[in-house]
């Protein structure tokens, strides 16, 4: 069975808070980001480990202090001017998917200039990336030194029972109706790395919600993941 993988928003930025983040091996990092956010932070890790969730949590936390925050993607940076991205009253800038700017002198210079602007103007800066700050794909030595100048932290993937619990929570958040033995089946027969569960979750939700079907173990076995 071939099912289109429809992109689904599993959670809104408003409910992506520190409290809703399943920390596990990231508890120390969570504490730093919540209570003592450094001038510069570089968060990196694989797909679906929670980097974007953490950016939203930081955004919500800083907003509560009455400070101005902006969160952009690397793609947006390529089309917007620095003057538009960085208003004078900005206290914190967060850039998701900065790895998309690696490998090109032109785009890496854009990131380099952005870093310097934030440093000069005392704007806190957070980057999120699939690549580590020491990856060889970063070409400019001056940029690489800046990427490693603050808090550099790998966001560790969620695994085991906690990953399955999050999988079940997101099924409920998406409104997927399921039989309880589905969770037992997932726990027993699937890899419980949440990165993989996240990809399957999108396909499950797309199919069940589109066709208005209850999720059962037989249906799981028919889906071509």
The CATH number for 63's domain is 3.40.50.300
pLDDT given for residue 79 in this prediction: 72
What pLDDT sits at residue 44? 98
* pLDDT of res. 18: 94
| Range of the structural domain that residue 30 is part of | 13-154
131 with 165, same domain: the answer is no
Backbone angles phi, psi at 45, to 5 degrees: 165, 175
Residue 91 neighbours by CB under 8 Å, 6+ apart: 62, 67, 68, 69, 123, 124
Which of 127, 154, 181 is the last residue before a domain boundary?
154
Per-residue CA distances from 138 to 75, 86, 118 (Å)? 17, 24, 20
Among 14-28, 36-50, 80-94, the range scoring the smallest mean pLDDT is: 80-94
Q: Which of 109, 135, 154 is the last residue of a domain?
A: 154
Q: Where are the beta strands (DSSP E) in the chain?
A: 40-44, 68-73, 90-96, 124-129, 151-154
Domain identity same for 147 and 192? no
Assess whether pLDDT exceeds 70 at residue 5.
Answer: no
Q: 144 and 194: one domain?
A: no
30, pLDDT greater than 50: yes
182 and 74 in one domain? no
Q: What percent of the chain has pLDDT over 70?
A: 91
Beta bridge mates, 72:
95
- Domain C-terminal end among 107, 123, 154: 154
Say whether both 36 and 100 belong to one domain.
yes
Q: Looking at the predicted structure, is the pLDDT value of residue 117 above 80?
A: yes
d(CA 144, CA 166): 35
Is residue 9 over pLDDT 80?
Answer: no
């Amino acid at each position: 069975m071939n099912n289109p993988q429809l992109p689904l928003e599993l959670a809104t930025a408003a409910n992506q808070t520190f409290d809703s983040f399943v920390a596990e091996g990231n508890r120390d990092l969570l504490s730093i980001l919540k209570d003592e956010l450094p001038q510069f932070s570089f968060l990196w890790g694989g797909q679906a480990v929670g980097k974007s969730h953490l950016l939203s949590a930081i955004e919500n936390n800083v907003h509560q202090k009455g400070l101005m925050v902006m969160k952009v993607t690397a793609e947006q940076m390529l089309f917007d001017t620095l003057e538009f991205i960085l208003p004078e009253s900005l206290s914190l800038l967060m850039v998701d998917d900065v790895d998309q700017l690696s490998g090109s002198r032109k785009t890496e210079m854009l990131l380099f200039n952005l870093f310097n602007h934030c440093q000069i103007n005392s704007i806190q800066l957070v980057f999120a990336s699939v690549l580590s700050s020491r990856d060889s794909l970063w070409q400019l030595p001056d940029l690489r030194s800046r990427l490693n100048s603050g808090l550099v932290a790998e966001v560790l993937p969620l695994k085991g029972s906690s990953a399955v619990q999050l999988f079940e929570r997101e099924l409920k958040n998406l409104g997927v109706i399921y039989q309880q033995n589905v969770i037992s089946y997932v726990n027993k027969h699937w890899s419980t790395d949440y990165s993989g569960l996240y990809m399957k979750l999108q396909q499950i939700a797309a199919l069940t919600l589109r066709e208005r079907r209850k999720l059962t173990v037989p249906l799981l076995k028919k889906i071509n993941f």
